[in-house]
Structure 1
Amino acid sequence: MQDHVGTRLERLDPKLSLTLRDHVHKALRMAILSGRFAPQAKLNERQLAEELGVSTTPLKEALRQLETEGLISTLPRRGIVVLYSRTWAEEMILARAALESMIAHLAARRIDRPGAVALQATIAAMSEASSAGDAGRLIELNEVFHEQIHVASHCVYLARLIERQRFYDEGTRRIIHSDPDERARALAEHRLIAETIAAGQVDAAERAMRDHVVRSGEHYLRLVFSGQSPAGD
């Protein structure tokens, strides 16, 4: 899935509800997370602005935001380069697995009856979306599902840490849920997570969440970084 900076990006509609800078930022971030730009690829501002159909002003603002997130960097004599690589992606997957599994552990310990019912309702809705092949709806429900677990865990510190993973989670979900087989596997894993949390099985919930995040993360790596060495930088 990797490509060079010359790959055309989808033009944006300036009338969309988010600010133009937000749309530029989201489009470029998704392009990076999907492997459109190889690690260390140099980004040409004028070319990117032309492809997106925007001026350089919102583009520069979006690039500054991406640099804050660590996905790109401005280097002396080289300009703007992409930092995101297989190595970084692997680390983010492991970090998310550690955080989400501990949150699931605490959710299984602390969840109440309404929380358990809400989780099961979300699983039912996810099953319907999966059967209908509605990837967009499934991505939305995926985010709802994990947020319900965060709420049930009553975490404060861990919730703040996981917040830094949100931009990565959104991007990778859009990539892997385009695959029908992956949607089926993810649904089964989510169902197991919900059942173990609702039953108060703390160790099983922790293990189910960790296994799910790691497996889906490995699938993402195969889709985006196939053929790239683990160092990948």
Structure 2
Amino acid sequence: MQGLKTTERFSGATQAGWQAYNITPDRTSGIGNWSDDALIAYLSTGIAAGHASAAGPMADVVQHSTQYLTHEDLRSIVAYLRALPPVSGGVTRPRDAWGKPAANDITALRGTTITTVNGLQLFVANCASCHHWTGGGVGGSAPGAYPSLIHNSVAGAPSPDNLAMVILHGVRRQTKDSDVLMPAFGDALSNEQVAAISNYATTQFGDLRATLTAGEVAALRAQPQ
């Protein structure tokens, strides 16, 4: 009957193909291991270094709403979130605890003829110029930096849906600190290619169990935005 599960309040949901993550104070599946400053930074700029960068509907929330809150209001939101009952959701490792830099993957492409859809090749061709071939990002924690995929809550999520949605639709987030733009690759890449990039990124930088098929990408692509 569309009723809310009160025992899972603030533990996440899916909207238009995007996963809204758990924001209860559980230290594994929620934001319990984020500092107050990190939470405030995320709400005011869309970036919490070492944790997450806002995309999709959350980028709109930051751009049109939370960046304009006073510091006192932001601290009040953080205090409220800290007081919520934690919900584990069965997650055993924080989303931002996954990943390590790619080591010698790129050298494997030298002199190699690629005849199939190859996630590494597609990552190097479409993603590495901004996120670096190691996945470490460019620009560190600067407001306009290209985020690291290592210790990134999207790459390390149990579901790869948000990663695929970012590849398909890109990111646009304007705040007083920066104008963040990641182009959408939905028109340039097939469902099979998006799945290959996503699977390479989750295997190398995130939860290697989070894999996608081309059919699942097609279903995400069909979600109205």
Q: Same fold (TM over 0.5)?
A: no
Which structure: greater helix fraction? 1
- Give 1 or 2 for the bigger CA radius of gyration: 1
TM-score (norm 2): 0.25
Does 1 or 2 have the higher relative contact order (CA < 8 Å, sep 6+)? 1
TM-score (norm 1): 0.24
